[in-house]
Amino acid sequence: MRNIFENTNTNIAGECFVVNESSIANEIRDWNTQQDNREKNIKKIALIITIIMLILWIGGDFLGMPEAFELFTGLMALFGYWAIVFIGGTWMSRPSVRRKNEEMATRSMIEMNVPDDAKLMEVVIPQKKDSAGWIKGNPNGWFGKNEMMMMYSDATHMYLANVYQTVGIPLTSFYNLSQTPDKIRFTTWLQEKPVNQFKKQGVKVNNGRIKGYNIVVPFYTASIHGKDEDFSICVPSYELEAFCEITKLKIYV
């Protein structure tokens, strides 16, 4: 049973549930790809500069370079990478970039007629992490990603929209909800409240076996009847109450 949001920024697994697509989806994808490439290039530049500084630092010591030169290259070798990444990250998140992100998102939501009273809902997407060689089942849970989507409903459907498309799932298609949670690890915390305010929901921060995957979140899996196959949607523990209210699925205790 595949996760309906196997890949949220291209064709999703549950294409049969797509009820609307944004005409600027490709524009948004291109922009996001451009931003991702810039971020990668900043890290590459930072690494190259750090290596050069390390060579100059070591070489300068042998050549008897001035103390100021040694101090500068030494500091850059030790801390230059993170300084450059920080400066690059600040540049990547400058106001003009944030405005463009917000403008494109707003245009997309208006075009797809997402109502103003739609609520943000987070979904988690268990994924294979190639560098670990696992799809699931490491001792501390799944690896994956999370995404905020706009959630709303009518008498017959639950809708989840991101900037690319809107998925409409008939309420009668929901047929099962896991009764005990699995755990997923991901890198980015998307909620406005800090992680420590979700301890009652089982959320915690741990050292990851893969660098950065240190946010541990319990999640429940809802099963959905599709046209030709069944799908799942994974809901973090802190979104479960709102999700169950709409779908009428229950946790039996």
Chain segment 37-48, per-residue pLDDT in tens:
999 999 999 999
For every residue of 64-124, which 3-state class applies, written as one string? CCCHHHHHHHHHHHHHHHHHHHHHHHHHHCCHHHHHHHHHHHHHHHHHCCCCCCCEEEEEE
Measured between its terminal Cα atoms, the distance across the chain in Å is 25
The tokens of 10 are what? Answer: 């291209």
Predicted confidence band of residue 51 (pLDDT cuts 50, 70, 90):
very high
Predicted confidence band of residue 25 (pLDDT cuts 50, 70, 90):
confident
Predicted confidence band of residue 63 (pLDDT cuts 50, 70, 90):
confident
pLDDT at position 133, please? 46
Confirm if 142 and 182 have CB atoms less than 8 A apart.
yes
Share of the chain above pLDDT 70, in %: 90
Predicted confidence band of residue 8 (pLDDT cuts 50, 70, 90):
low
Question: Angle 126-8-199 (CA atoms, 0-180°, nearest 5)?
Answer: 45
pLDDT at position 201, please? 93
Confirm if 204 and 155 have CB atoms less than 8 A apart.
no
Instruction: Output DSSP code: residue 133.
Output: T
CB-count burial class (<10 Å; 0-12, 13-18, 19+) for 157? middle
Distance CA 73, CA 50 (A): 9
Q: How far is CA 133 from CA 90, 136, 208, 209, in A?
A: 33, 9, 15, 12
Predicted confidence band of residue 64 (pLDDT cuts 50, 70, 90):
confident
pTM: 0.78
Task: Render the burial of 158-172: b for 16+ CB within 10 Å, e for the rest.
Answer: bbbbbbbbbbbbeee
pLDDT surpassing 70 at residue 211: no
Strand partners, 151: 119, 160
Supply the mean pLDDT for the chain: 86
pLDDT at position 168, please? 94
Share of the chain above pLDDT 90, in %: 51
The 10 Å Cβ neighbour count of residue 22 is 22
pLDDT at position 210, please? 60
Q: How far is CA 232 from CA 106, 155, 222, in A?
A: 28, 21, 5
CB-count burial class (<10 Å; 0-12, 13-18, 19+) for 194? exposed
Query: What is the amino acid identity at position 207?
Result: N
Nearest to 201 by CA among 144, 241, 154, 157: 241
Predicted confidence band of residue 251 (pLDDT cuts 50, 70, 90):
confident
